[in-house]
Each structure stands twice: as structure tokens, then as C-alpha cells.
Amino acid sequence: MKCKICGKNAEIQAFGMWLCRDCFLKLFFRRVNKILKKYWHGEKIWVALSGGKDSMALLHYLWENGYPVHGYHINLGIGDYSRSVEDIIRSYTEELGVELLITNLREEYGFSIGEIRRKPCSACGTVKRYLMNKVPRENGAEILVTGHNMDDFLEFFIKNMLGKNYSWSRKLVPYLEREHPKLLPKLRPFYLVGDKEIEIYAKLKGVKYIKENCPLAKLSGWKEILYEIEKKKKNFRYEMILSVWEMAYFFPQEKREIRECKLCGEPTSRDICSFCTLRMRYGKKSTG
């Protein structure tokens, strides 16, 4: 096979064509850079690191391209899995020379996701939203960057449509502005690349990441379906995400009054934020 762009030997099938290594990397850069160029204006970046391929490849991308990047990780306390994740993040950030901050949920707040029996993923979501905003902000972050990718957003979009939660799709855009002085803006540079492209990038660049999924994860199967469609419809995922990007702005912005939690002072739409509610139920009661 020959590379569709330069005619050299091609070893990679991606972006709907055969490509050589260099042309793949150029196209990957072009898609990620399109988002960064549009929405990044020199702010100090903190990457939320879960240890998986997306966040670790994103860390590598930002580091290699000279962005002012820092890493933040939450040890969620999910047994051996969390221990392996923390080890790999520590060693990879050290190798790249990137500053890393870690919060250990059990040590600092007295509970862990591994011990929550009822809906652990929902509690985990609350913990991540809260700490990923609070800790980097308190340490000088001006923008929070996450590894959510094109396939994640397509999956969210389908689920929102099927659940008739149409307005939730308003958030399925590459950049979310600051809604409150204490809420960091959020940027998703991998909005135009999916699992497959990121996996190839990680392999070509030797990115280190944890290969296993979280033991509590329940996979929906939607991503496999997207890839099945793409076998018959070239570039389906890319064309679809461009539509989702445009369509998202048609959905009304959720009107919510943001105030400060009576216990911890962090932004919330209730008197007591969901994180403090969790902590009162499972962990230390103090607000320190």
C-alpha cells in the first residue's frame, strides 16, 4: 500500500485512507492543533491524568509541542488498579519532566471509590468534577484540559438522544467557558480524534499508559457500533462529530444559579455540594 498523501510505503490505515507514519502524525497534529489554536490563549494548562491512553497521549502531545503543562491525578482507591495507575503516571511524568500533583482520596478525605457499593461511577464522577477543578485551580491552573475524545462525545450524544436528554448535548463541545470565578474553563483537544487515532499516536510516540480498564467500568458497546458503521461509511465518526459540534449550540444553555457550598465554599447549585454530601456519608466530616 502507498501513502495517499506522499506516495511512500504506507503502514497505517486511519482518517479514511492509507498513510505513512509521517503523514499520519501530520494529520493527527492538524486535527488537535485546530482545537488548541482556536481555544487556547496562553493559559497555564493542567491535564487531568487517569493513566489511560487518552490522557497520557494528551500529556505527551502538549509536552512535545511546548505547552506549559502540568499533570494532576486523583488516586481513587480502587485496589491494585489505582496503585498501578499511580505508579505509571509518576514514572511517565518524571520521564517527561512534567510537574505532577496527586490527591489520594482515602488519605485526604477519608473514603475511596473502591468501598462505595452503590453506583460507584456516579460517586467517582462527583469526586473527579470537584477535585479536578479545585486542586489545579488552587495551584495556579488557568484551564483544565481533559483527554475526552471524539468517540466519547459521539457515545454521549447517542445516549443523550436515546434518553431524550437533548439539552445535555449543549456540553458536547471542545471548549466550555468559565461559568463562575471558581470554575476552571475546560478544553478537550482530542475532540476531533478518536480511540483508534489516539492508540496509533500513542504507539508511534511510545506513550506509556495503563492497558487495563478500571475494574468497575461497564462498557456500553456504542463505540464498537460506531466503528462497524465506519467500515461501510468512510469518515463517519469525523463527519458526525462536526455535526454534533454545530448542533450543540442549538440546545439551550442549562440555567442554573451557581453559589458557594456552605461547607467547603466550592461552586455548586445547591446549599451543600455533592462532594461534601459524599464526604459526610462515607468519609471525614470536617471540611479541611
Name the site residues for ligand SF4 (rule: CB under 6 A): 113, 120-121, 124-125, 214, 216-217
Residue numbers at the binding site for Zn ion (CB under 5 A): 261, 263-264, 273, 276
Q: Is 2 or 262 the residue whose CB approaches Zn ion more closely?
A: 262
CA atoms within 13 A on the CB side of 89: 29
Q: Is 56 or 184 the residue whose CB approaches Zn ion more closely?
A: 184
Q: How far is it, in rounded angstroms, from Cα 236 to Cα 145?
A: 26
What residue 265 binds from Zn ion, ligand SF4, none (CB within 5 to 8 A, per partner kind)?
none
End-to-end CA, the chain: 61
Q: Is 82 or 160 the residue whose CB approaches ligand SF4 more closely?
A: 82
CB of 44 to ligand SF4, least distance (A): 26
What residue 101 binds from Zn ion, ligand SF4, none (CB within 5 to 8 A, per partner kind)?
none
What residue 120 binds from ligand SF4, Zn ion, none (CB within 5 to 8 A, per partner kind)?
ligand SF4
What residue 264 binds from Zn ion, ligand SF4, none (CB within 5 to 8 A, per partner kind)?
Zn ion
Phi first, then psi, for residue 234 (nearest 5°) are -55, 135
Helix, strand, coil share of the chain (percent; to 5): 50, 10, 40
Give, in order, the Cα–Cα distances in Å from 192 to each of 21, 129, 151, 215.
19, 23, 9, 28
Per the structure block, which three cell numbers stand in for 220?
456500553
Q: Is 78 or 150 the residue whose CB approaches ligand SF4 more closely?
A: 78
